[in-house]
Chains A and B, each alone.
Chain A
Amino acid sequence: MVFSTLVPLQAVAFVLVALGAPLVVLTRDPLRQALVNGVYGITLVLLFVVLQAPDPALSMLVVSGIAYPLVILAAVARVRGERRRPEETKDE
């Protein structure tokens, strides 16, 4: 069978990834999704480390930790800002 050579640590990392992916999809709020996606990215980093692939792990870390959340957060800020703008004077 395919999984007979899977080390328990690798199995744990795979299970974490398998649990993380649906969590990202099932999170509906974009802001929260950006955070959940970051956590999911960390599980992928963990998987790459366990599989002894440090270079992809580093790339995954920076993409899921820096580049991708920024794009999401910027878009969320834009949408919320536009929604807030008509009543903005009230806040200040």
Chain B
Amino acid sequence: MSRRLRLALLAPALLGLGGLFAWAIAGLPKFGDYRGPYGYVLNQMVVPLRHSTNVVMGTTFDVRGLDTMGEEFILYAAVVGVTLLLRDESGAGRVERRTRRARSDTVRLIGVLMIGVGLLVGLWLVAFGYITPGGGFPGGVVLAGAILVLYLVGSHRDYAPFRSEHALDPFEGLGAGGYVITGLAALALGLQFLTNLFGYGKAGTLLSAGSIGILNAASAIAVTVAMLLLFAEFLETYVAPLEPEDVGS
């Protein structure tokens, strides 16, 4: 098909699509117009009923707790998939990859400061997730990112504990399993799966929101370790050996 013919076909098609698109846009409700009652119900309900001042977290970990469990296992499945895809069974006798630490003292110092600040921000995001915006997912990724800075300024060997599956797997199990067990605990007490236990405490404090805090912590562990496992697989697979190990360090 010649270029001219293709353009001739494209023009009316684009025109038709453009017209329909403009028609659809013109018929949309005004920007910011919200018609679903669900959000209003949650806004009214979550703080008084669950004492979780972050309504988003009250929703994800309580009202729709089962959905969040599914999401957590999506991440889990993604990590399993990446691991299975990238696993290189042939490299049994492979030598340990070696990299050198960042040479500049300034870079190393800034890196160490970044690790400290990153860990603090991550822990804060996790701990106060059900009080202020944050929570297990962003907090977990920040924690994993802070740990990854150790790889950037340190050597491959310095990073060893955080890419060892034997060290990471139990924590991934704890995070993913902790969520399910919290749900099953309610079931064992004769309540519905993932019913909020432990009392709701005083809103706006760390001792509030009942099970939400535990589910939040469990998902934070699961997300942190899942990211670390992902990083470990990518580093192992992709990062080519750079330099002789830790010369002069």
The yes or no answer to A59 lying at the interface (CB within 8 A) is yes
Most chain B C-beta atoms within 10 Å of own C-beta, residue among A59, A70, A71: A70
Interface of B is mostly: helix
Chain A-chain B contacts (Cβ-Cβ < 8 Å), number: 76
Q: How extensive is the interface on chain A, given as a class?
A: 20 to 34
Chain A hits for B95, CB < 8 A: none
User: CB distance A2 to B28 under 8 Å?
Assistant: yes
Contact indicator per residue, chain A 74-92, by CB within 8 Å of chain B (1) or not (0): 1101101110110000001
Expressed in whole angstroms, the minimum distance between the Cβ of A70 and any Cβ of chain B is 6
With A5-B32, A71-B234 in contact, is A55–B26 under 8 Å at CB?
A: no
**Within the complex, what minimum Cβ distance (angstroms) separates A19 from chain B?**
19
The chain B residue sitting closest to A51, CB to CB, is B32
Which B residues are CB-close (under 8 A) to A26?
none
Q: Is B54 an interface residue (CB 8 A)?
A: yes
A62 to B32 alpha-carbon distance, docked (Å): 26
Give the residue of B30, B134, B231, B235 whose beta carbon is less than 8 angstroms from that of A58: B134
- Contacts of A74 on B, CB cut-off 8 Å? 234-235, 237-239
> B94 to nearest A CB, angstroms?
15
Which residue of chain A is the closest to B151 with respect to CB atoms? A70
The number of residues on chain B lying at the interface, defined by a beta carbon within 8 Å of a beta carbon of chain A, is: 33
The verdict on A54 contacting chain B, using a C-beta distance below 8 Å, is yes
Q: Considering the chains assembled together, what is the distance between the CA atoms of A63 and B243 in angstroms? A: 30
Q: Chain B residues in contact with chain A, CB under 8 A?
A: 25-26, 28-33, 54, 56-57, 125, 133-135, 137-138, 141-142, 144-145, 148, 227, 230-231, 234-235, 237-241, 243
List, sorted by A's number, 6 A–B pairs whose CB atoms are closer than 8 Å: A55-B54, A55-B56, A58-B125, A58-B133, A58-B134, A78-B239
